[in-house]
């Protein structure tokens, strides 16, 4: 007599294939959270310890660096609280954070270089490749997420 094995639904199969957050990704999420908080505290400490009033551009730079660090800290915290498969959403969010931070930083470097009348090539040479890599990784993350979601629909039979 053959014993019939219980069939798994598509969602149960997906849940077994990929846990919400692997131990390796959990370590990366904790590192991102800690680095973001540490970076924000460091920048705030530098900002607060500056003697006298700072120029507006310097204030803006400190504020943006603090915001970038807090963004990464929030990203790490968000990853740690997820209890469902992310289907590469984490990579898409990280890509957009990296793209925004690199684009804003490069833009500020270019503005400062133009105002000073020197160093434009250095600013573009340093920031351009970083923006290009962040853009490429963001596009790749979106493609990976779309492929995973397409595969999930195929497995669950929700294909239109």
Name the token pair of 82. 């997820």
Which residue is listed with tokens 């493609």? 143
Residue 18 pLDDT more than 60?
A: no
For tokens 């833009």, the residue is 107
pLDDT given for residue 20 in this prediction:
63
For the chain, percent of residues with pLDDT exceeding 70: 84
Rounded to whole angstroms, the Cα distance separating 142 from 130 reads: 18
* Local confidence band at 14 (pLDDT 50, 70, 90 cut-offs): low
pLDDT at position 156, please? 77
92: pLDDT strictly greater than 90: yes
CA-based end-to-end distance of the chain? 39
Looking at residue 153, what is its pLDDT? 85
pLDDT for residue 127: 96
Task: Report the helix count and the strand count for the chain, using DSSP H and E.
Answer: 5, 0
């Amino acid at each position: 007599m053959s014993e019939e094995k219980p069939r798994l639904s598509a969602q149960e199969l997906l849940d077994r294939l990929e846990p919400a957050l692997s131990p390796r990704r959990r370590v990366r999420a904790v590192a991102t959270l800690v680095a973001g908080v540490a970076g924000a505290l460091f920048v705030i400490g530098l900002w607060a310890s500056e003697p006298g009033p700072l120029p507006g551009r310097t204030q803006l730079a400190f504020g943006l660096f603090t915001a970038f660090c807090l963004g990464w800290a929030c990203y790490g915290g968000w990853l740690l609280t997820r209890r469902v498969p992310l289907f590469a959403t984490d990579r898409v969010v990280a890509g957009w954070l990296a793209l925004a931070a690199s684009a804003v930083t490069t833009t500020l470097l270019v503005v400062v270089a133009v105002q000073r009348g020197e160093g434009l090539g250095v600013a573009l040479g340093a920031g351009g490749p970083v923006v290009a890599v962040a853009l490429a990784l963001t596009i790749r993350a979106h493609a990976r997420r779309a492929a995973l979601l397409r595969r999930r629909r195929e497995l669950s039979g929700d294909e239109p």
